[in-house]
Amino acid sequence: MSEDRPSSTPRGFFDRLLQALGSEPRDRDELIELLRDAQSRALFDADALAMIEGVLQVSEMQVRDIMIPRAQMTVVSRDANPEAILPVVTESGHSRFPVVGETRDEVVGILLAKDMLRYWAESEAAFNFRDVLRPAVFVPESKRLNVLLKEFRANRNHMAVVVDEYGGVAGLVTIEDVLEQIVGEIDDEHDIDEDDAIIRHAPGRFTVKARTSVEEFNDYFGTAFSDEEFDTIGGLVTQAIGHLPERGESVQLGEMTFKVLRADGRRVYLLRVTLNGADD
């Protein structure tokens, strides 16, 4: 299908850049080498290089490369009452939720967290999914990310349900997932601050950024985890689990239980650390 062909790179910017470099690459690999050489000569900074490489990469990637797998989707049931939905909304920190029927293959629409406000603001209003449900957008696993981003922008949509070749739900993807391939991880108000790598929520229960150094972790908790093989606590947990973990997986190390709160197909982002004996 035509939508699966990568679109051409915007020529204006690169033509001017190549003119400044005095060379024209024969393929994408040579183009990237030229860009990296230009960055090393301070023609632009490392952040700009990372974003340019991200743009090139997005044109080659497909939805299946970045989607949140079906098993890790945070969904709400069409038959659930508001009291059952509210904990899902508040604990996940998401703003949009697929609404499912009997199974996860039956996505009947999308619930926006803000649409729940009407129910709570008007205590006498009876909550009815039909009143607040938004239509779901379905995309194939093979759709190119640059095409999907264009559609997100054109339709002012932020989430799509991903289906496999048989029409079953394979996962979901958001506009943030696509943009993160270009600009890097995007923190929002539900993420912990850059300067706060470790947050204490209750006695014995903490949220820890996976990229926190083992040394910093040891200093905070008084532990003695080795940093000879891995610099970050996320690397240590990944090694202990034995594979790149998915959200919800956990492992016990010493007197602590580490649970993966946020991860994708490439790395772990956020961990829940519980001291043994404390409630998770």
Angle, helices 145-155 vs 175-183, to 10°: value is 120
Q: Give the pLDDT score at 14.
A: 58
**CATH architecture entry for 198-275:** 2-Layer Sandwich (3.30)
The answer to whether 210 and 267 have CB atoms below 8 angstroms apart is: yes
pLDDT of residue 278: 63
Distance CA 245, CA 250 (A): 8
Q: 116 versus 235: which is more confidently predicted?
A: 235
Considering 20-24, 61-65, 271-275, the range whose residues carry the highest mean pLDDT is 271-275
Residue 145 DSSP label: H
Contact 216, 195 (CB under 8 A): no
Lowest mean pLDDT of 39-43, 145-149, 191-195, name the range.
Answer: 191-195
Q: Tell me: the pLDDT tens digits for 157-210?
A: 899 999 998 889 999 999 988 888 777 665 554 454 555 788 887 788 888 888
The Cα 88–Cα 74 span in angstroms is: 8
Which has the closest alpha carbon to 206: 119, 132, 271? Answer: 271
More confident position, 53 or 11: 53
Q: 61-94 pLDDT, tens per residue?
A: 889 888 888 877 888 888 888 778 877 877 777 8
Mean pLDDT of 108-130: 73
Burial class (CB in 10 A: 0-12, 13-18, 19+), 114: exposed
Q: What is the mean pLDDT of residues 31-36?
A: 78
How confident is the model at residue 4, as a pLDDT? 45
Model-wide pTM > 0.95: no
Which range, 5-19, 21-35, 96-110, 260-274, has the best average confidence (pLDDT)? Answer: 96-110
What pLDDT is recorded for position 62?
87
Q: Which amino acid is at 274?
A: T
Q: 65-183: which CATH architecture?
A: Roll (3.10)
CATH 3.30.465.10 range(s) for the chain read: 198-275
Task: Enumerate the β-bridge partners of residue 97.
Answer: 111
User: What pLDDT score was predicted for residue 15?
Assistant: 64
Return residue ranges of the chain for CATH 3.10.580.10. Answer: 65-183
